[in-house]
């Protein structure tokens, strides 16, 4: 087998642990709504895709992958993306995906939709430079038997936030579910939930700060007073031991609070 196909073959074997035949359970959202969700919950340059785990092929890849990585959209197949992972980060990618399969295999079909996988690694751009991206994935389609057929993923440029360092894996709980942040290699299969640093309301405010909104705009979005937003912002800075909004945004993305 060609050396270029080895990452795909190894990863496909890992993902086989998630794929199960059966009646399909898909999130009742159209692609346009997903685009809006992606734009709301991410900061910086990004591209997104829908991956079919059964075929190990992208059903969809957004055109802005070219703006971010420099390659033509049609060239950016799954095997191509796996092939441009930094050699030092590839072992992390494989180990993280093994942990992802182990974690999601313990969830009910409904709970598969309530967790976001997030970790970081470097990809080689067309100019030869490496870019650190934040890799985030949610379940797009599951089966009644608990298998995951399709996922929705996004790569966000975080080179300005984390230009170097060790890749970190987290499982972020959605809809009030517990999160598991910075999962180490030594962690056992049974994980302990991470103590939440900020509340649900504070997370909402942090997400809007990441988007660049000011207190007045956040107050309008959340239907609360500007005074309440400013009070929350002061409390968030104190709880997270950050001295500015810029430092808070950087720490929130690195630590996986949102």
The model carries a pTM of: 0.76
Domain limits, the chain: 3-173, 200-255
| Residue of 163, 116, 49 whose CA lies nearest to 257 | 116
Phi, psi of 243 (to 5 degrees): -105, -5
Question: What distance in Å separates the CA atoms of residue 161 and residue 255, rounded to the nearest whole number?
Answer: 11
Coil, strand or helix at 47: strand
- Split at pLDDT 50, 70, 90, the class of 4 is very low
Give mean pLDDT, residues 173-196. Answer: 71
Helices (H), the chain: 6-15, 31-41, 65-69, 78-83, 90-104, 200-210, 215-222, 226-240, 245-255
Position 71 scores a pLDDT of 97
| Residue of 191, 186, 54 whose CA lies nearest to 115 | 191
Give the pLDDT confidence of 36-77 residue by residue, as tens digits.
566 556 667 899 999 998 888 999 999 999 999 999 999 999
Question: What distance in Å separates the CA atoms of residue 182 and residue 174, rounded to the nearest whole number?
Answer: 17
Distances from the Cα of 167 to the Cα of 73, 85, 136, 174, angstroms: 26, 12, 13, 22
Confidence check: pLDDT of 106 > 70: yes
Query: Does residue 114 contact residue 104 with C-beta atoms inside 8 Å?
Result: no
Count of alpha carbons within 13 Å of 31, Cβ hemisphere only? 9
Confidence check: pLDDT of 123 > 60: yes
CATH topology of domain 200-255: Arc Repressor Mutant, subunit A (1.10.10)
Query: Does residue 248 contact residue 237 with C-beta atoms inside 8 Å?
Result: yes
Question: What distance in Å separates the CA atoms of residue 50 and residue 152, rounded to the nearest whole number?
Answer: 5
Q: Which residues contact 232 (CB under 8 A, 6 or more apart)?
A: 201, 202, 205
Q: Is the dihedral of CA 8, 14, 17, 23 positive or negative?
A: negative
Superfamily assignment of 3-173 in CATH? PAS domain (3.30.450.20)
Coil, strand or helix at 116: strand
Query: Does residue 186 contact residue 194 with C-beta atoms inside 8 Å?
Result: no
Give mean pLDDT, residues 86-101. Answer: 93
Give the pLDDT confidence of 228-248 residue by residue, as tens digits.
999 999 999 998 889 898 888
């Amino acid at each position: 087998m060609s050396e270029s196909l080895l990452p795909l073959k190894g990863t496909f074997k890992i993902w086989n642990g998630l794929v199960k035949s059966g009646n399909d359970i898909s999130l009742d959202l159209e692609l346009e709504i997903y685009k809006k969700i992606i734009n709301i919950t991410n900061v910086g340059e990004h591209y997104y895709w829908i991956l079919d785990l059964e075929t190990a092929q992208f059903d969809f890849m957004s055109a802005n992958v070219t703006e971010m990585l420099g390659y033509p959209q049609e060239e950016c197949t799954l095997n191509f993306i796996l092939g441009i992972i930094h050699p030092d980060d590839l072992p992390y990618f494989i180990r993280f995906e093994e942990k992802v399969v182990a974690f999601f295999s313990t969830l009910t079909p409904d709970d598969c939709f309530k967790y976001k996988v997030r970790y970081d690694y470097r990809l080689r751009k067309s100019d030869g430079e490496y870019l650190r991206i934040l890799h985030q994935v949610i379940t797009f389609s599951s089966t009644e038997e608990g298998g995951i057929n399709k996922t929705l993923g996004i790569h966000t440029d975080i080179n300005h936030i984390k230009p170097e360092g060790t890749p970190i894996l987290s499982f972020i709980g959605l809809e009030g579910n517990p999160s598991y942040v910075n999962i180490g290699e030594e962690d056992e299969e049974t994980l302990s939930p991470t103590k939440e640093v900020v509340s649900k309301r504070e997370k909402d405010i942090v997400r809007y700060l990441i988007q660049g909104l000011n207190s007045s705009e956040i107050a309008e979005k959340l239907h609360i007073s500007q005074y309440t937003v400013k009070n929350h912002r002061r409390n968030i800075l104190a709880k997270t031991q950050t001295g500015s909004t810029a430092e808070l945004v950087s720490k929130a993305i690195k630590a996986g609070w949102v």
